[in-house]
Amino acid sequence: MHIDGGCHCGAIRYVATIDPANVSVCHCTDCQMLTGSPYRVSVLCRPQDVQVTSGRARIYRKIGDSGRVRLQQFCGDCGSPLFACNEDPSTGVWSLRWGSIAQRRDLKPSRQIWCQSAAPWTDELAAVPGQARE
């Protein structure tokens, strides 16, 4: 599937080819802190399948519990999280941040990881009253 996306302010744009079956929800405490929310949704893809078409992301070098380095890429102007990749961006797996993808409504998670860190109420969200707008 071909997708496009970018940051909230529009300074950074990208295109990518992804497999929609590779959408994950991560409940780890790092993702909770880096997003300011109970979990992060990402799409995994190969480095060669992502092309930044405008702008340049800022990078935060994060060392995970595994000792592995992941480069967290985000917009330096608006702060939107965009990608994570290995220290050598041409290797390993890229993780595209679901919220930055224009076609995100078409991308349903197929797995959840780090569930032991999940907020205890996430399974109850469907029962919480909602409204279309505030």
The rounded distance, in Å, linking the Cα atoms of 106 and 125 is: 20
So what's the pLDDT on residue 116? Answer: 95
So what's the pLDDT on residue 56? Answer: 96
Give residue 13's pLDDT band: very low, low, confident or very high (50, 70, 90): very high
Give residue 64's pLDDT band: very low, low, confident or very high (50, 70, 90): confident
pLDDT > 70: what percent of the chain? 100
So what's the pLDDT on residue 21? Answer: 97
**Is it the case that residue 66 has pLDDT exceeding 80?**
no
- Cα–Cα distance list, 9 to 55, 60, 75 (Å): 11, 19, 9
- Class at the top of the CATH hierarchy for domain 2-118: mainly beta
So what's the pLDDT on residue 49? Answer: 97
Mean pLDDT of the chain: 95
Q: Where exactly are the structural domains of the chain?
A: 2-118
